[in-house]
Chains A and B, each alone.
Chain A
Amino acid sequence: EPEVTQTPSHQVTQMGQEVILRCVPISNHLYFYWYRQILGQKVEFLVSFYNNEISEKSEIFDDQFSVERPDGSNFTLKIRSTKLEDSAMYFCASRGEVSSYEQYFGPGTRLTVT
């Protein structure tokens, strides 16, 4: 069964450093999403991406965040200058065609900012 994959599973970085979180969505999917979940809190929408551009973003997704689909298979989330409060689990999700509704989640990357 096809699945969304994410690397790395755990990333530790120092405050102020840049990190890139990587996702490989399911191959024929068209819509891509990033969510984050701070430990013990709810899953929060960050951004949706379609047709090589951001389609919607939340207030969390400020100028320090960016997304990219560099090569037709990977989907990346970059945090330019990490802060302690960016420590969270980051989930990538993908969805198929327009008429589909289910978003398939990857296993997540746990980001720890020290």
Chain B
Amino acid sequence: GQNIDQPTEMTATEGAIVQINCTYQTSGFNGLFWYQQHAGEAPTFLSYNVLDGLEEKGRFSSFLSRSKGYSYLLLKELQMKDSASYLCAVRHSGGYQKVTFGTGTKLQVIP
């Protein structure tokens, strides 16, 4: 089966750094996505990790530990527009690449 856990809500201050954690238990793991979703909108791609380690992309970084079933998304220099839900999603092995999403972490950035 698949189980993806992430905190439901987080609050952080504009200009600060926030880390959103995700743990997963799944068969046939083939990579992990982070998506951003603003209310009423489609998910937009942030990052993808398949190997252990840190991937940095501007203000956003994502980390993966396959042995621990753990990932985090790090957001630096928070801006008000970063207020959104952040979805952790596991990509399954196999050619068709089914993706299972976690429930998402709603991040509120406050002044």
**Which residues of A are at the interface with B, using a C-beta cutoff of 8 A?**
31, 33, 35, 41-45, 48, 50, 55-56, 89, 91, 95, 98, 101-108
Contact = CB atoms under 8 A, between A and B. Distances in A.
Given A31-B96, A41-B103, A56-B96, 12 more contacts: A33-B99, A43-B37, A43-B87, A44-B101, A48-B98, A50-B95, A50-B96, A56-B94, A56-B98, A91-B42, A91-B43, A101-B48
Interface residues of B, number: 25
Contacts of A43: 37, 43, 87, 89, 101
B44 interface: yes
Question: Which applies to chain A's interface (DSSP): helix, strand, loop or mixed?
Answer: strand
Interface of B: 31, 33, 37, 40-45, 48, 50, 87, 89, 91, 94-104
A110 to B, nearest CB: 8
B45 A45 contact: no
13 contacts: A31-B97, A33-B99, A42-B87, A42-B102, A44-B101, A45-B99, A48-B96, A48-B97, A48-B98, A56-B96, A103-B97, A103-B99, A105-B44
A103 B97 CA distance: 10
Contacts of B31: 101
